[in-house]
Structure 1
Amino acid sequence: MIKVTTGSLQVIDALKDVPADQLEWLLSNSYEQFLPAGELLFEPGTPINFTYIFISGKVSLYVLRNNEAREFALAEASAIHGYLPFSRGKINFAYGRALEDTRLLLFPAALMNEMICNHFELTQALVHVMSSRVRDLATRQQQDEKMMALGKLSAGLAHELNNPATAIMRGGAIMKEHLQSIRLTFYEILKDKVSPEMVEIVKALLSCIQNEKQRPTPGMMERSSREQELTGWLQKWNITAAGDIADDLITFGLNISDAEKFLNCIPEPWASQGMNWLRDNLVMERVVRDIEESSRRITDLVGSVKTFTHMDQGRDKEYADIHDGIRNTLVMLQYKFRNNNVRIVEKFDAALPPVKAMIGELNQVWTNLIDNALDAMERTPGGVLELSTRSDGLSVFVTIADNGPGIPEDIVSSVFDPFFTTKAIGKGTGLGLDVVLRIVRQHRGTVKLASVPGRTEFVVCFPING
């Protein structure tokens, strides 16, 4: 076992500027402890009697929520935890359990006053550690409070939207059923007046709405030409509102040949009434379909909001498919994709196993990174957002890339700094990537950025098993 020296303490970033004589005093008044993997360093209710300087190994700091461990920090080599100068904490509120064999240096809290009086730089360094810890905890608490508030808002929104959406879907289904019933009754009446072949022609025309999505959409010039031609033809039959009827028939892919087949099924004096009846049926069919589609979108959006905030789940790490969170984030930002005319390219690894994570927090990561990418492509014609996932068996890698102008090389190193932003005043706070970095670090992961003109990518990596 390598002996702890002042030189090895100066490698620790928090202690690098502390004079050697003060570190020597710290060493002479501390003692080493070896903590085997699985052993507890402390537990709730025990007094905080030491400052812990981690030499090697890892200790998980966690609390129990609903009988499940929720980790809020990971102490690794060079980390400093426990009692610090001017700390008001006297009793441990969490567990500290070694994830692997761990070596620590323990400085007694009873000597803290002596240190404060006689060793300014050492005290200053440890106060800085304490202020960073308070800031991190406050940031984490703010994130939790925001997600809880959003969860409550989403719960109310989901409840309020879900009821009318369900009613709309139910009403649309009833309307569709009655429309079909009216149509069947009409067919029965028609059979007494025309041949069965004529009835089948009418049925075929009225079913064209069902195949609307399979038909190619004509261009603007071609559609205009078809509409003018059909309008002129209908006017020769003295059809009232010929222009409006032609517009709707063209929408459903019908042409002069289809209209002529229909008119041949009915007596000539009824031509105008018949064409208007055909048009009304097609329009009603489309309206019913649009009602069903719109209500389904509301239901999907409510579900996405619910999943995005993870409001019906615990706040602890659990195994889940990260693709669900990414796709729900895309639904939440769908309006920006439409406004910016951005195309999405998904390269997801279908064999990716469920990952252990705090899903609500990760959704904040995807939201911030995707939202930034969309802002970057705001003035990029043919914007493309590329999302890909992969795994090496131990970790999962999520890449979010855009084909925007890129990030200038001289500011790449600053983008994760709090309050740093390249956006116009009022459009950004400069905290999005700072939040991303903090959440990913809570998951023991990393975020890497690579940017050149025409491609910027963020690669998020974190362990599969938490």
Structure 2
Amino acid sequence: MEVTPQDLRNVSAISEVPEDQLQWLIDNSRLESIPKGGFIFQKGDAIDKLFILLEGEVDVKVDQNGNYKQVAKIRTNEISGALPYSRATTAIGFGETTRNAKALILPKEAFNELTRNHFELTEALVHVMTSRTREFAKRNVQEEKMMALGKLSAGLAHELNNPSSAMARSAVALKKHLGNVPEKFKRIISVKATPEQIDVINDTLFEKLTHRPENTMGLLERTEKEEVLETWLEDHQVENAYELTETLLDFCMDVDALERIYTAIGDRNFPTAIEWIENVLTTEKMVDEIQEAAQRISTLVSSVKSYTHMDSAPERTATDIRKGIKSTLTMMNHKLKQKGIVVEKYFEEELPEPKIMVSEINQVWTNLIDNAVDAMDQQGRLTIKVNRDGNFIKTEIIDNGEGIPKENLSTIFDPFFTTKPIGEGTGMGLEVVKRIIQQHNGDIKVSSRKGETNFTVCLPIE
């Protein structure tokens, strides 16, 4: 196959390049055939040649934890490989042909003559490079967002599952419990008691319900009190005393309280009265459990709403920085708990509210906190400080992990730089963070040593 300038007119990126420059490209290149399943480049190869795919297709794949993921496809009449002024040096993936292919290959050694003597061809190839970089950055930013969303979604699903399961269990238990109420009601209604006796029971019971005391007993103290209460109930002819003690003690209904009821109502009616009291307290406890679980779900939903700022227009809004950080911590609570990380918050009170893009700034907190958690071992310590510093709100996110190597500090915010394995990060997180901060006319700095890495974000108040 002999390649002509007319053949290269089918390559849209260089279709308008003068014919003499296309002929130079042909004269300084070699035509290479690659069979189906062959590699036009492999991981680790030097990026030292430009190629134009004249026939066939090439799947570009990267190795992610032992699995190959297709990240791009090079089609017929497309340009890839080395390009003028590109700083790429080593291939990070594989280029495998999906059918027999032919490629026109220009070695990088010819680039000096190319850029010196062939302006239109150079301009077209540089345009290919900028378009490729823009698409690559766009795709990786999207992947970074999807990774962050995946992490938050997994944690949020776990956090929502716990209270929703608790509600379901409590609802089933409450339904079963209420099924036993008619028999107990029949027994209590048959009790012949004076208004004064009923008042004693009501006063004692509803004092515990209305002003439910906080149960601060330790395990040892509670075990001892359960034994004492169970023995006391058995001595006063109460059947199934063991089953009643747990609920009675949950409401701090101790021997002294039961003595008052026993003295008022007498030994004959006392077992029935205690059974009814325990029944009311059990119902109250189950309702409390359902209410608490529902409140936890409501809090999580509120945090999601605050985190995404989904009920507001996408514009700068005067916002309390601390609120966004708290919502982010709630969203990431599952990951923090998994590692047993202690979070220390030092928030200055009555801070001014800078005008910010809330969702974007929350993405900053997510990336910085997520990186901090990844950098720490089990039982780590995350410290977050927020205070006013002149005309700025200064936020410090500090972890006690291994620290960032000194040689990486100068490139930590560069696009695609990452120390994480393939599949765990795209290297766009901190680049996105810096870009968002700069869009807010703010500043971000990092300092690191073993045991202390500090990312400091300053956002202008005005």
Q: What is the TM-score of this pair, normalised by structure 2? A: 0.57
**Cα drift, residue 377 of structure 1:** 4.4
Cα contact 1:421–1:429 (8 A) shared by 2:
no
Q: How many residues align?
A: 328
Output the CA distance in 1 between the equivalents of 2:371 and 2:282. Answer: 41
Aligned match of 1:41 = none
Aligned match of 1:462 = 459
Secondary structure in 1 aligned to 2:242? helix
Unaligned 5+ residue runs, structure 1? 1-84, 87-112, 176-181
1:304 partner amino acid? S
Cα contact 1:345–1:387 (8 A) shared by 2:
yes
Output the CA distance in 1 between the equivalents of 2:117 and 2:441. Answer: 33
1:299-354 Cα offsets, whole Å, 9 max, x none, are 22222212211223233333322222112112212333444444433322333222
Matches within 5 A, 1:61-460: 117-118=118-119, 193-194=193-194, 196=196, 199-200=199-200, 202-212=202-212, 215=214, 217-380=216-379, 383-407=380-404, 409=406, 411-413=408-410, 415-416=412-413, 418=416, 420-422=418-420, 430-460=427-457
**Cα drift, residue 135 of structure 1:** 5.3
1:333 partner amino acid? M
Cα contact 2:382–2:398 (8 A) shared by 1:
yes
1:193 partner amino acid? A
1:362-418 Cα offsets, whole Å, 9 max, x none, are 1111112223333444512xx443222123343221112234454455655565453
1:265 partner amino acid? A
**Cα drift, residue 459 of structure 1:** 1.0
Output the CA distance in 1 between the equivalents of 2:230 and 2:422. Answer: 53
Aligned match of 2:106 = none
Cα contact 2:394–2:458 (8 A) shared by 1:
yes
Output the CA distance in 2 between the equivalents of 1:261 and 1:454. Answer: 60
**Cα drift, residue 287 of structure 1:** 1.9
Cα contact 1:321–1:354 (8 A) shared by 2:
yes
Output the CA distance in 1 between the equivalents of 2:247 and 2:363. Answer: 44
Cα contact 1:190–1:199 (8 A) shared by 2:
no
Output the CA distance in 2 between the equivalents of 1:227 and 1:448. Answer: 57
Output the CA distance in 1 between the equivalents of 2:275 and 2:292. Answer: 25
Distance 1:341 1:230, change over 3 A: farther
Distance 1:130 1:428, change over 3 A: closer
Cα contact 2:314–2:357 (8 A) shared by 1:
yes
**Cα drift, residue 447 of structure 1:** 2.4
Aligned match of 2:90 = none
Which of structures 1 and 2 has the bigger CA Rg? 2
Distance 1:210 1:335, change over 3 A: farther
1:242-295 Cα offsets, whole Å, 9 max, x none, are 112112222222322222222223232233222221111112112222222222
* Structure 1 range deviating more: 216-225 or 339-348: 339-348
Distance 1:210 1:366, change over 3 A: farther
Percent identity between matched residues is: 32
Aligned match of 1:91 = none
Cα contact 1:263–1:275 (8 A) shared by 2:
no
Secondary structure in 2 aligned to 1:279? helix
* Structure 1 range deviating more: 121-130 or 309-318: 121-130
